[in-house]
Structures are given as C-alpha cells and as structure tokens.
Amino acid sequence: GAGVSQSPSNKVTEKGKDVELRCDPISGHTALYWYRQSLGQGLEFLIYFQGNSAPDKSGLPSDRFSAERTGGSVSTLTIQRTQQEDSAVYLCASSADREFGGYTFGSGTRLTVV
C-alpha cells in the first residue's frame, strides 16, 4: 500500500481481556517498529523487526506483550490480560533501511482499557 496501515483505529476493551493490533507496513520495507504513546508523553519503543533477524524485544514492558511478523510483512501486537495502564496509542512504523531514520508511521491504534 501507499502508507502504513493499522487496524483497528480505536479499540475499547475491558480490563483482563486480550487484544490484537495489526500493522501492514509499506510494501518492500524490511524494518518494522512498534511504539506506544501515552497521553501527553513521548514515544516508547516496544519492539523492532528487521528482515529475517531475531526481533529486538527489549522494549516490551511485560510478558503480557508479544508481537510477531509473518512473512516479513504484516505484524500483530498482542496484549494479554489488559490493564488500565496499557491505555495508549500504539504506533507502528516501517522503513526501507534500518540505518536511516526516515520512518513512516501509521496513524495508530488508540487503545482504551476500561
């Protein structure tokens, strides 16, 4: 596609439920990143996929968070047993070259845990 596509754009879930967030990067981009942004805060790195290399999971805040990237393209971020502090905007970005800072971000998924 022309840009990074994320779905859903908004998600309201009850505390304790699992959620899946999807990211469809720009075709041909080998690098894919997940960040989250809480209200009024900066972007917090979560996980980074580069080609077929093992992902950099060093930013995942707990073992309730996991992500996968199938076929080097679409990625899914899963949050199990959601907590209220998980409420944030989850942003996905992709880039053609991991050495370059020109990320293209999707418009994000706004997650609200009630």
Partner 1 sequence: RKEVEQDPGPFNVPEGATVAFNCTYSNSASQSFFWYRQDCRKEPKLLMSVYSSGNEDGRFTAQLNRASQYISLLIRDSKLSDSATYLCVVRKDTGRRALTFGSGTRLQVQP
- Judged by the rule CB under 8 A, the positions of this chain that interact with partner 1 are 33, 35, 41-43, 45, 48, 56, 58-59, 91, 98-99, 101-103, 105-108
Scan for tokens 């996980």, then name that residue: 47
The two counts, helices (H) then strands (E), for the chain are: 0, 10
Q: Which residues pair with 9 in a beta bridge?
A: none
What's the closest the beta carbon of residue 45 comes to partner 1, in angstroms?
A: 5
Q: Which is nearer to partner 1, 19 or 106 (CB)?
A: 106
Q: Which is nearer to partner 1, 27 or 58 (CB)?
A: 58
C-beta neighbour count of 51 within 10 angstroms: 10
Q: Which is nearer to partner 1, 14 or 99 (CB)?
A: 99
What's the closest the beta carbon of residue 10 comes to partner 1, in angstroms?
A: 12
What's the closest the beta carbon of residue 85 comes to partner 1, in angstroms?
A: 18
What's the closest the beta carbon of residue 67 comes to partner 1, in angstroms?
A: 13
Ranges of beta strands (E only) in the chain are: 5-7, 10-13, 19-24, 31-37, 43-50, 65-69, 75-79, 88-95, 104-105, 109-113
- CA 81 distance to own-chain centroid: 17
Q: Which is nearer to partner 1, 48 or 65 (CB)?
A: 48
